[in-house]
Structure 1
Amino acid sequence: MFKSIISPGKYIQGSAVLKDIRNHISNLGESFFIIASDNGIKRTKPIIEESFNEKKCNLTFESFNGECSKNEIDRLRKILKENDCDVVIGVGGGKIFDTAKAVAYYENIPVVIVPTIASTDAPCSALSVIYTDEGVFSEYLMLPKNPEVVIVDTEIVAKAPSRLLVAGIGDALATYFEAEACLKSNACNMAGGKITKAAMALASLCYETLLEDGLKAKLAVESGVCTTAVENVIEANTYLSGIGFESGGLAAAHAVHNGFTVLEQCHHLYHGEKVAFGTIVQLVLENRTMEEIEEVIGLCLDLYLPITLEDMGIIEIKEEEIRSVAKATCSEGETVYNMPFEINEDVVYAAILSADAIGRLYK
């Protein structure tokens, strides 16, 4: 079995780098299909149009409907074809990135990712998470390549609500622990190979950066400024976690996240907020030391990430609901089976309730 590490063709991060987007992607094509939210189009369209002002090309902006579903992907593919576009650009957050990557994959054209928030590690990956139109996890779409270019304008990202940056920290929080679990079980990473030392080093650096700069970055963003800590956390959330999870592998934390998507009470949470609690559940599954668990819970408390079921929106704990989460977590093909020991619904159910009990000690 081979080892592998994969990444986007080019990663660019810095203040006001969106102004130079033409210089970074003009070699990819001549007709660009730009997917963003209504607000994302309002914020970035003038900057993108100005960048392309001196080059004759077609720019087609289309609003995202809000869910990375098969129906939304098909709708956007139709509009792309009608405008004869040969490059997809996803501007915004995780579900827009996953949708843009899926559209580009089915149309066999390049994709460029432009985060305006740092809430997930989706920008760099060769993966799209597909949901139903109602927002319930459906499947992972494994892609043959990573995005051609990822452009992160930290001036824009730092202006987003701090909750989004914190959600990205919650998502990135799982990276090292999931990669380590995959290494112990000799599981394959998301690229289909075994884990390299480089991937583990990036995953470890990701966790260290979050512990060192996570709270400082949150406070800076809340103060309306972009500091070195903010820059570091944006890189950790986007690149270190992106390469770390994909080339290191996923395990229980993200499977637990997928499990919680079956509960309507949790639909108000961002992806990374659910992953943060899923990380605590994974640590309980592994029977980690209280010192290790307290370190993660301490960061979550500093950032107001969920550490209990009540934080997840589950006010009244009902056995049948938590068991439905455990069942979904243990669905066939889920990444929870990358854990280095036997997994079943009862074990996951117990870990969820135990994680909740531990979390309540700190409330």
Structure 2
Amino acid sequence: MNKIMISPNRYVQGAGAIADVGKHISLLGTKALVLGGKRGIGAIENALSTSLNEHKVQFIIRYFGGECSHQEIARVAEVIKQNDINIVVGIGGGKALDTAKAVAHSAKIPVAIIPTIAATDAPCSALSVIYTPEGVFESYLVLPKNPDLVLVDTAIIAKAPARLFVSGMGDALATWFEADACAKAFAGNLPGGLSTSAALTLAKLCYDILLEYGYRAKLALDQCVATEAVEKVVEANTLLSGLGFESSGLAAAHAVHNGLTVLEETHHAYHGEKVAFGTLVQLVLENRTTKTIEEVIRFCLSVGLPVTLKQIGVAQVTPDKIRKVAEATCAPGETIHNEPFAVSPDAVYAAILAADALGNAYLQKTL
């Protein structure tokens, strides 16, 4: 199997970067569909409109329906057909951005991604996570290419709720451990190859940045300011995590996230929050050292990421519930099978409960 590494065509990051968005988009298309939630679009609409008009890019705005589902993708694709759109501009958080990428792929036109939160590594990836209209994980849609443009204005990120930024750290937290598991198993990455040394190095850098700058960045975000620590973590959450996960691979952490979506009480928890707990489950499943597990738990507690089932909404933990999660986590085709050993629902069931017990034990120590 060949080694394959993929990445966005252009990545732009900095405070005030939105002022130049028209210049970058005009290289890709002349009539844009701007797709995003009302809050995301509202955060940048004036600056976006000014820059697009300045660079003579026509545009229409449509609001995202809430779930990246096949039904939503079909709805937006029809808008593209009816309006002669030649570029999609996705704005907001992970599900809106995944929808924009999927729709652009369907229409065979370029896509520009403008995240207004740093809550997931979705902006840079050639992947859309498909859910049912009710919010239950359905499948991964692997796209033939990464976004043509990813533009991240850190001044806008700094104004978003800090919990979203922390959720992004939870998503990024899994990157190195999943990449390492895939490398040990010689498992294929998302573009269908093996990881390069560069991708593994970026995945490890992502983890190192989180440990070094995550706590300071979270405190700065609490004050709605973009410090250099925030710049570092935004890059980790967005670029390094995105490159690391898709060019090295996913393993147990994201599969546990997908399994948790079968429990309706977890739907209020953000993607990265569930992935953070999934990372802890992966570490238990792999029987990682106490030092590594403690390092991850302490990081999670320092920035406010969940380390227990209760913290992601499972107030009443029952064998039946955890069994359902374990079965869904181990479904055929799930990324947990990229681990360098055979995984069973029984093993995952045990790891989830053990991870929850560890999280509760360390949580009690901090109270």
Please confirm whether the aligned pair reaches a TM-score higher than 0.5, indicating the same fold. yes
Identify the range of structure 1 (314-323 vs 48-57) with the bigger mean alpha-carbon deviation. 48-57
Q: Distance in 2 between matches of 1:56 and 1:227?
A: 33
1:52 deviation in Å?
2.2
Residue 110 (structure 1) aligns with: 110
Q: Distance in 2 between matches of 1:22 and 1:230?
A: 25
Counterpart amino acid of residue 143 in structure 1: L
1:30 deviation in Å?
0.7
After superposition, residues 1-363 of structure 1 pair within 5 angstroms as 1-363=1-363
Q: Distance in 2 between matches of 1:309 and 1:16?
A: 39
Identify the range of structure 1 (252-261 vs 47-56) with the bigger mean alpha-carbon deviation. 47-56
Counterpart amino acid of residue 78 in structure 1: E
TM-score, scaled relative to structure 1? 0.99
1:56 deviation in Å?
3.2
Q: Distance in 1 between matches of 2:210 and 2:54?
A: 41
1:57 deviation in Å?
3.3
1:32 deviation in Å?
0.3
1:54 deviation in Å?
3.1
Q: Distance in 1 between matches of 2:52 and 2:297?
A: 46
1:49 deviation in Å?
1.1
Q: Percent identity?
A: 58
1:58 deviation in Å?
1.9
Q: Distance in 1 between matches of 2:251 and 2:280?
A: 12
1:87 deviation in Å?
0.1
Counterpart amino acid of residue 358 in structure 2: I
Name the SS of the counterpart of 2:124 in structure 1: coil
Q: How many residues align?
A: 363
1:42 deviation in Å?
2.0
Q: Distance in 2 between matches of 1:43 and 1:118?
A: 14
Counterpart amino acid of residue 265 in structure 1: E
Identify the range of structure 1 (35-44 vs 324-333) with the bigger mean alpha-carbon deviation. 35-44
Q: Is the 8 A contact 2:257 2:271 kept in 1?
A: yes
Q: Output one character per residue of 1:231-256: Cα deviation in whole Å (capped at 9) or x when no partner.
A: 00000000000000000100000000
Name the SS of the counterpart of 1:67 in structure 2: coil
Q: Distance in 2 between matches of 1:42 and 1:219?
A: 25
Counterpart amino acid of residue 309 in structure 2: L
Name the SS of the counterpart of 2:13 in structure 1: strand
Counterpart amino acid of residue 361 in structure 2: L
Identify the range of structure 1 (252-261 vs 15-24) with the bigger mean alpha-carbon deviation. 15-24
Q: Output one character per residue of 1:140-172: Cα deviation in whole Å (capped at 9) or x when no partner.
A: 001000000100001101111100110000000
TM-score, scaled relative to structure 2? 0.98
Q: Output one character per residue of 1:84-125: Cα deviation in whole Å (capped at 9) or x when no partner.
A: 110001000100110000000000000000010000000000
Gaps of 5+ in 1: none
Q: Is the 8 A contact 2:80 2:107 kept in 1?
A: no
Counterpart amino acid of residue 199 in structure 1: A
Name the SS of the counterpart of 2:35 in structure 1: strand
Q: Distance in 2 between matches of 1:52 and 1:205?
A: 35
Q: Distance in 1 between matches of 2:25 and 2:56?
A: 14
Q: Is the 8 A contact 2:10 2:148 kept in 1?
A: yes
Counterpart amino acid of residue 182 in structure 2: C
Q: Is the 8 A contact 2:255 2:335 kept in 1?
A: yes
1:304 deviation in Å?
1.5
1:43 deviation in Å?
2.1
Q: Distance in 2 between matches of 1:212 and 1:57?
A: 41
Q: Distance in 2 between matches of 1:267 and 1:165?
A: 18
Q: Distance in 2 between matches of 1:250 and 1:206?
A: 15
**TM-aligned CA distance change 1:84 to 1:233, over 3 Å:** same
1:41 deviation in Å?
2.2
Name the SS of the counterpart of 1:3 in structure 2: coil
Counterpart amino acid of residue 126 in structure 1: A
Identify the range of structure 1 (240-249 vs 50-59) with the bigger mean alpha-carbon deviation. 50-59
1:315 deviation in Å?
1.4
Q: Is the 8 A contact 2:22 2:54 kept in 1?
A: no
